[in-house]
Structure 1
Amino acid sequence: MLGILAVERNKHFLAKVLAYSHTKDKNYRKILKDHMIKSNTMVWSKYYLESLLFDCKKDIKDLSIQTLLMYGSKSDHINTYLKFYQNNLPNSDIYVVQGESHQLPTRQPSYIYQMLAGFILNKT
């Protein structure tokens, strides 16, 4: 709900906070912030709302493909759902990156690339 309010009331502030939290690179922060400011406020709000309402638990049990899950150890999602994923996704590889939150691709791009490449090469 906080994200929805922030988008609707101060999109520039939210863009700055998100850009700062996703990377340490100042140039990339500016690119992210500028890109987010261009976004449609209604679409951004709807995305946050849909994210709050989304629940994949009933469908996840039907996945039979190899699945790669990557989470940061500081992410609330991994602490909440790790056992569920372990019990319901038998064909999955789950990696938890210590000391990171949910911004793995921007915080640890080289490490994420290595995990993806290894997963793809080992599964094909």
Structure 2
Amino acid sequence: MPNFLFEETRIYFEDYGTGIPIIFIHPPAMGRKVFHFQAQLSNRFRVILPDLSGHGDSIGPYRDVSINGYAQEIKELIEHLEISKAVVCGYSSGGLIALEFALSFPHQTSAVILASGFPEVKSLALKYEHIMGMYFVKKFPHMLAKLITNSHIRDKSLRNEMYEHMLKTDRKTWFQFYEESLHYSCVERLHLLEFPLCLLYGSRDFATQNIKIFKKKTTFQLAIIKNVAHQIPTKKWEHFNQLIVDFLNEQLNEINETSHN
């Protein structure tokens, strides 16, 4: 599997296809396996699926976790691959990293796609989810991994694969990713986004408050996927993937001219 060295940690990633590069950024502990179904987008785009440091196969010496630090990690990945610009797609808390990357490195960003994403943990439900995540990481990490995988994947074999991948996560990293997400906010910088933004939510997700925040600060394209809550990349992956295709075809034809693959 391709990898590169970043601050004493080998960052492992999967790299499929050619064309417009899309880097998918996972939430705490889930690693690249949560984007199993997005690998199929490689028939149209270049799909890059990293394990962030402390997750999955990217295990090295422990270091403090921060959203800024993970954004820097994505920057190093892009430069390692000699890509001039990329689309960043973050799922759930991974969307915070996608937003921070785009705001910190706009010259390396083509577009941002947020899957069940948010610019800060605002609602009580989301705060509770993060606080309970921190508690379970400390007390019952195996149970938490089982709960998360069961809520995302129906296929038993794939579910077990994701479960085993989650258990590779460094526990301190897992806890601190939740903690950093809980206290991060880029709301006051959203107006600085200079490129297409796509927001994708499930109809059963608690997304209304997040959409209102984005509406006050920036422009975006919105799509709601019916009959699903938070887990749109796995439970409604065909619809999710098609929305990505439609968005990029509509907004980003010029990327082919500016991205080096």
Same fold flag (TM > 0.5): yes
> Residue 181 of structure 2: which of 43, 51, 72 is its match?
51
Q: Following TM superposition, by how much is the alpha carbon of 1:45 offset from its aligned partner in structure 2, in angstroms?
A: 0.1
> Residue 203 of structure 2: which of 68, 73, 76 is its match?
73
| Residues in 2 aligned to 1:15 and 1:35: alpha-carbon distance in whole angstroms | 9
Q: Following TM superposition, by how much is the alpha carbon of 1:67 offset from its aligned partner in structure 2, in angstroms?
A: 0.6
Are the equivalent residues in 1 in contact too, given 2:203–2:228 (CA < 8 A)? yes
Query: What residue number does 2:109 align with?
Result: none
Query: What residue number does 1:22 align with?
Result: 152
Q: Following TM superposition, by how much is the alpha carbon of 1:73 offset from its aligned partner in structure 2, in angstroms?
A: 1.7
Aligned to 2:167, the other structure's residue is in SS state helix
Q: Following TM superposition, by how much is the alpha carbon of 1:27 offset from its aligned partner in structure 2, in angstroms?
A: 1.3
> Residue 161 of structure 2: which of 31, 39, 46 is its match?
31
| Residues in 2 aligned to 1:75 and 1:54: alpha-carbon distance in whole angstroms | 21
Q: Following TM superposition, by how much is the alpha carbon of 1:99 offset from its aligned partner in structure 2, in angstroms?
A: 2.1
- Name whichever structure is richer in strand by fraction: 2
Q: Any idea what the Cα deviations from partners look like across 1:53-94, whole Å, max 9, x if unmatched?
A: 111211111112111110112222x1212122233222x111
Query: What residue number does 2:60 align with?
Result: none
Query: What residue number does 1:115 align with?
Result: 243
Query: What residue number does 1:64 align with?
Result: 194
Query: What is the RMSD computed on CA atoms of the aligned residues?
Result: 1.1
Query: What residue number does 2:223 align with?
Result: 95
Query: What residue number does 1:83 align with?
Result: 212
Structure 1, unaligned stretches of length 5 or more?
none
| Residues in 2 aligned to 1:108 and 1:93: alpha-carbon distance in whole angstroms | 19
Structure 2, unaligned stretches of length 5 or more?
1-130, 254-261
Query: What residue number does 2:126 align with?
Result: none
Amino acid at match of 1:117: V
- TM-score (norm: length of structure 2): 0.45
- Aligned sequence identity (%): 26
Q: Following TM superposition, by how much is the alpha carbon of 1:51 offset from its aligned partner in structure 2, in angstroms?
A: 1.1
Q: Any idea what the Cα deviations from partners look like across 1:7-32, whole Å, max 9, x if unmatched?
A: 11111100000000111111111011
- TM-score (norm: length of structure 1): 0.92
Aligned to 2:223, the other structure's residue is in SS state strand
| Residues in 2 aligned to 1:4 and 1:86: alpha-carbon distance in whole angstroms | 30
Query: What residue number does 1:4 align with?
Result: 134
Aligned to 1:94, the other structure's residue is in SS state strand
| Residues in 2 aligned to 1:27 and 1:89: alpha-carbon distance in whole angstroms | 41
